[in-house]
Amino acid sequence: MKLLTANRLTDGLVLWYAGGPDLSGWNEDAALATRLEDEAAAALLEDWKARETEVVAPYLVPLLDENTLVKREYVREHVRANGPTAGQTAFDTARQHQRGEVF
Amino acid sequence: MYQYDQFDHAMVAARNAEFKDQVERRLKGELSEDQFKPLRLMNGLYLQLHAYMLRIAVPYGVLSSRQMRTFAHIARTYDRDFGHFTTRQNIQFNWIKLADTPQILEDLAAVEMHAIQTSGNCIRNTTTDQFAGAARDEIDDPRPWAELIRQWSTFHPEFTFLPRKFKIAITGATRDRAAIRVHDIGLQLTDKGFDVYVGGGMGRTPHLGHLIKSGLPGEKLLSYLEAALRVYNRYGRRDNIYKARIKILVSALGPQEYARQVEEEWATLDQAQIDAPHAEIARIKSFFPQPAYADKAFDAAALDRAKAADAGFARWVRNNTLAHRRDDHVSVTISLKPTGLPPGDASSAQMDVMADAADRFGYGELRVSHEQNIILPHVAKADLYDLYRLLDQNGLSSANVGKITDMIACPGLDYCSLANARSIPLAQDISQRFADAELTDKIGDLQIKISGCINACGHHHVGHIGILGVDKQGEEFYQILLGGRADEQAALGVITGKGLSAEAVPAALERLIKLYLDLRTDETERFIDTVGRLGRDAFAGALHEPA
Ligand code: HEM
Ligand code: SF4
């Protein structure tokens, strides 16, 4: 199982693929990301790699199950999904999306 | 400070217009990401974990109050209301929108700033002593020389695609506050000219620079640097990014052989074409006059009374001020290391306050230090208490300069896409653990430096205690290094003990410090001296929980 993620070209923010044919299908909230089967994920990745005016640097994040990151990726993807863990300045993605932390 | 002439203005304006066009073409899809990436990097725009990051050059760390207010404006208008001052005396904004960057660069150009050469394999911002022009132990002011190097190196056609990035640091004082021995080239100004150190660096293979030339006259500085860079540009390795820095070339050739080749190259150069004429050096020096010092009556007894009445102020004067060349002035360091907050961050409101403080009490001048603090280089002693109160009302009066909580920390895995582990939360935990000001004063001078990966942006190799974040199959671990120092007795720390989890680090440091307090001869023996006297091994055991 995999997630498709990238940064939006215009503002660089982390996005998660949540279905649909165009950019409006991507979401800043990782909780809403579509859980993809491996083959579908690989095909979508190829598709989105070519769509450079919409997203930058798309890649796949492997999951062990619905809500569990592979350990090797854990801290990095947790930080990308939830915002910096640090400080006065932490962008509290979870609060913005009115939900708890993802993963 | 230096003021742009018409050429500087025209150059930056042309570059900004060019980048604006590149951004527009990228947004329209006329440039691919592969084509655009090197162009944006040449203008300081990175893509990090969460967003674009813009790195703005603060030439040799010197800022006017007006420039600081522009940073506040950028933080407020285009970012999330804060900025991060870095060990390269620059500032980084972490949440920049691509489409906003042309306007940001225009706002910067209006105050004679830019983000050119803050990335890529070129000569980067030259760094120097944050107390330049003010410190009592200064032999000669390094700023005019740093400015001369800036003018020579900016857009230098031959050195735009070096094997790897290139960093020069200069100090003009007896105390080295610019860490010159861990830069590609380190310059020490003496009364006989420059001592030139080459081949220092950190990253995955740390080296201390080697002295290859003494007493180089200032008028010959540029041609000699040109020769040094040429030899590197020609023979530095381009086949392996990990072996591309000049430190690798210098250690492969041996410093003497490298120096010989530089001399040989230097002799072939048309030096008069390269070196700045006397009049030009004098012109640049004229931009760095002493301020028009106010003759404010200084009442030492009043200062003593204020200190006696306000213990926080007394501590701040003791820890955050440095002897000035004039008896009635001091240099003040504004610590950006308040308890429990990210080292080096400042909010837009704090930036405005620091700019106001500079205007009211510091002749409009500020500096960024490589320790990620802000300096008011010239403050009349008569103004100290008023300045302190202004800072104190705005969360800027931490009295911990040079102490255990005055840590350097790189952005780490909270922001940086190359990171292995987080740095900032660890710094926050340590700062909380040592929040007691009495205790930090008792511990005395101690530098902790934290990097989130082997690239060493947080200078962990030269921390008295260095902390290096590593990744062990998805878990963050921290290696502890002991015995490093960045000053005139530069030394590289050595990894001591086994890696620790983030939770284990603060307690390990507490045991380490307790042992030091037990072992030191008296309070004048600093941590680094005790480690030097007894050896690292005497401390290794304390890092781990007793079995
Ligand atoms: C967040 C984005 C950053 C990236 C991608 C980055 C990347 C790197 C890399 C790849 C190196 C190793 C160079 C080498 O060994 O050849 C390095 C070194 C260094 N960087 Fe950064 N860095 C970042 C942020 C910073 C910050 C915030 C600072 C200042 C606080 C900084 C200051 C330094 C210093 C002092 C070194 C070590 C000296 C040297 O070897 O050049 N960097 N950086
Ligand atoms: S040391 Fe590593 S983690 Fe820290 S800023 Fe540099 S590249 Fe990023």
Q: Tell me the CATH number at B451.
A: 3.30.413.10
Range of the domain at B169: 142-285
Q: Which residues of A touch B81 (CB under 8 A)?
A: 89
Residue A90 has pLDDT above 60, yes or no: no
- pLDDT at residue A89 in the model: 40
Q: Which of B297, B362, B323, B350 has its CA nearest to residue B64? A: B362
Q: Which of B273, B250, B272 has its CA nearest to residue B262? A: B250
User: Are the Cβ atoms of A10 and B99 closer than 8 angstroms?
Assistant: yes
Q: Are residues B215 and B192 in the same domain?
A: yes
- pLDDT at residue A98 in the model: 66
Residue of chain B nearest A51, judged by CA positions: B29
Low-confidence ranges of chain B (pLDDT < 50): none
CATH of the domain at B353: 3.90.480.20
Q: Are residues B260 and B304 in the same domain?
A: no
Rounded Cα distance, B482 and B543, in Å: 11
Residue of chain B nearest A73, judged by CA positions: B474
User: pTM, whole model, 2 decimals?
Assistant: 0.95
Q: Are residues B435 and B492 in the same domain?
A: yes
- What is the tally of helices (H) and strands (E) in chain A? 3, 5
Which of A57, A75, A91 lies at the smallest CB-CB distance from B474?
A75
For residue A5, which phi and psi values (nearest 5 degrees)?
-135, 160
Q: Are residues B517 and B446 in the same domain?
A: yes
Q: Which residues contact B7 (CB under 8 A, 6 or more apart)?
A: none
Q: Are residues B267 and B219 in the same domain?
A: yes
Q: Are residues B378 and B414 in the same domain?
A: no
ipTM attached to this prediction: 0.90
- pLDDT at residue B111 in the model: 98
The domain spans of chain A are 2-71
Q: Which residues of A touch B475 (CB under 8 A)?
A: 71, 74-75
**Residue finishing a domain among B53, B88, B109:** B109
Q: Is residue B131 part of a domain?
A: no
Residue of chain A nearest B54, judged by CA positions: A12
Q: Is residue B398 part of a domain?
A: no
Q: How many domains, in total, are found in chain B?
A: 4
- pLDDT at residue B174 in the model: 94
Question: Which amino acid residue places its CA nearest to atom 11 of ligand 1?
Answer: B455
Mutate to test the interface with A, among B31, B52, B336, B398 (most CBs of A within 10 A): B52
In contact, B462 and B182? CB cutoff 8 Å: yes
Q: Helices marked H in B94-200 — which ranges? A: 101-109, 143-153
Interface contact A43, partner B, CB < 8 A: no
Q: Which residues of B touch A49 (CB under 8 A)?
A: none
CA A77 to ligand 1 centroid distance, Å: 22
Rounded Cα distance, B543 and B529, in Å: 18
CA torsion angle for A44, A47, A48, A49 (degrees, to 10)?
120
What average pLDDT does the segment A32-56 reach?
Answer: 96
- pLDDT at residue B5 in the model: 93
Q: Is residue B356 part of a domain?
A: yes
CA B410 to ligand 2 centroid distance, Å: 6
Dihedral-angle region of residue B10 (phi above 0 means left; psi in -120 to 50 means alpha; beta otherwise): alpha
Mean pLDDT of chain A: 87
Q: Is residue B491 part of a domain?
A: yes
Chain A: give the shortest CA distance to residue B324, in Å. Answer: 34
DSSP β-bridge partners for residue A4: A60
User: What sign has the CA pseudo-torsion B300, B306, B311, B317?
Assistant: negative
Which of A52, A57, A91 lies at the smallest CB-CB distance from B47?
A57
Confidence of residue A96 (pLDDT cuts 50, 70, 90): low
Atom number of ligand 1 nearest to Cα B415: 1
Residue of chain A nearest B100, judged by CA positions: A11
- pLDDT at residue B545 in the model: 81
Residue A92 has pLDDT above 60, yes or no: no
Confidence of residue A74 (pLDDT cuts 50, 70, 90): confident
Atom number of ligand 2 nearest to Cα B453: 2
